[in-house]
Amino acid sequence: MTTMEQGQYDLKLYRGDTYSRGFRFWEDDIGQTAFDLTGAVAESEFRDKPGGASIMVFTCAITLPNTITIHLVPDQWLNSTAPPKGYWDLEVTFSPTEVYTLIAGDVIVTKDITNSLEI
């Protein structure tokens, strides 16, 4: 496996809504050689600051050979202390000695209007 350069992607979340976003990863700049995720475990979290408290954990699904989809569901917002701005990243682990942060960025949370008192 070769190391790939970490990407930057900012998330824009709407408080209380379902969120799902898929990412494809490539070994090369032209998207011809898939970054092989066979045997990988993907993890992704939203935090108030790097090294800060975990606000939400995204559910991650890997579709071979090179796609990871992150998900949030409305129930995850219940009792959430999600700030209006935070940070996230997506890591894959192949073994205890082989971990890659594939993508990271800022998180912007917009307050909801409808049902805002329930969440």
β-strands 11-14, 98-110 pairing: parallel
At residue 114, the pLDDT reads 84
Residue 99 in any domain: the answer is: yes
| Domain limits for position 71 | 7-110
Residue 89 in any domain: the answer is: yes
Establish how many alpha carbons lie within 13 A of residue 38's alpha carbon, considering only the half-sphere containing its beta carbon: 4
Model pTM score: 0.89
Question: What pLDDT, in 10s, does the model give residues 109-119?
Answer: 999 888 765 54
Residue 103 in any domain: the answer is: yes
Neighbours of 73 (CB within 10 A): 11
Residue 119 in any domain: the answer is: no
At CA 43, angle to CA 88 and CA 71, rounded to 5? 75
Residue 2 in any domain: the answer is: no
CATH of the domain at 28: 2.60.40.10
Measured distance CA(113)–CA(11) in Å, rounded:
19
Q: List the structure tokens of 17.
A: 């809504």
At residue 1, the pLDDT reads 46
Residue 47 in any domain: the answer is: yes
On the question of pLDDT at 15 being above 50, the answer is: yes
- Do 57 and 45 form a contact (C-beta atoms < 8 A)? yes
